[in-house]
Amino acid sequence: MTRRRIMLALVVLAGLTACVSVTPATAQAAGFTAGSLKMVTFDEDSFWNYDYDKGSSSTFPDPSSAGHNDWPVTIIFYNAATVSKVRSIIKSWLPSTGSTMYAQLSDSAGVWEWRGDAGRKQNTLYFSGHKLVARTQVLHIRLYAHNGDKSHNARWGDYVLCTTHFDNNELGQTAGAPKWYGMSEDAAGMVDSWFVGRGYTVAADSVSLDNAEAGANGNSWRPDVVDPTHRWQCDGKASMIMIP
């Protein structure tokens, strides 16, 4: 190989490596209509059972108004959980980031706050041996807690709320595959299995958050009323994953 070709190959490889390390923020539209939006309360703490595309009292003053939601809360990390600790655990599995969404939560009675997170997600492109491979279905989770760190109550100790979903063919990386977002219940199951496989205590679907999404004709999911590529799927119960 000539020196010119070697240099060209190195430049191409550098560009591909950059693609592997960081996935661009999601291009999907936000602001969808949740089917079971409500505030839930556990001991002295409360939170809304979906996250939102807006995150301040000035941009979105009424969290009870559906139409600005993104995904249901499907997992609660508890015991000694913090946002940074969970991120550290999953950093090699979910190394990329996405777009920021927001949760409204109260870590003490009557005191509410908006907390945003871009989340963690799988790389869309990754190396398998020396071959660059495109992943069609990309797992994406977001983490929310008081002060962006941890919430606390007597029942769960230090805890972090988590939403889950898949981004399917988001960047058009797989020719012929449909583009859609969602299937939160299936995504939560993937997270549960990953933590179980590493020895963590997981109680799947053990806490009711009243955010079930029913599909028509026996389907496990339903398309959003505005954008059918947004697939709502949730059984209304969150998994509990203990973080030591």
pLDDT digits 0-9 by tens, 54-74: 988 888 888 998 899 999 999
Cβ-Cβ contacts under 8 Å for 78 (sequence gap 6 or more) = 156, 157, 158, 159, 160, 240, 241, 242, 243
Rounded to whole angstroms, the Cα distance separating 237 from 244 reads 22
What per-residue confidence (pLDDT) applies to 24? 33
Collapse the DSSP code of 34 into the 3-class scheme (helix H, G, I; strand E, B; otherwise coil) and give the result: coil
> Which stretch of 27-36, 97-106, 145-154 has the lowest confidence by average pLDDT?
27-36
- Give the number of C-alpha atoms closer than 13 A to the C-alpha of residue 94, restricted to the C-beta side: 26
User: What's the domain range around 194?
Assistant: 3-243
- Give the number of C-alpha atoms closer than 13 A to the C-alpha of residue 178, restricted to the C-beta side: 8
**For residue 115, pLDDT beyond 70:** yes
Classify residue 159 by burial, with Cβ atoms within 10 Å: 0-12, 13-18, 19+: buried
Which is it for the CA torsion 242, 70, 99, 63, positive or negative? negative
Structurally, the chain folds into a number of domains equal to 1
**129 or 96, which is more confident?**
96
DSSP state of 213: B
Q: Note whether 46 and 106 are within 8 A (CB).
A: yes
Q: Of all helices (H) and strands (E), which one includes residue 203?
A: strand 202-208
Confidence of residue 127 (pLDDT cuts 50, 70, 90): confident
Structure tokens at 97: 């980031």
Collapse the DSSP code of 39 into the 3-class scheme (helix H, G, I; strand E, B; otherwise coil) and give the result: strand
What per-residue confidence (pLDDT) applies to 85? 98
**For residue 22, pLDDT beyond 50:** no
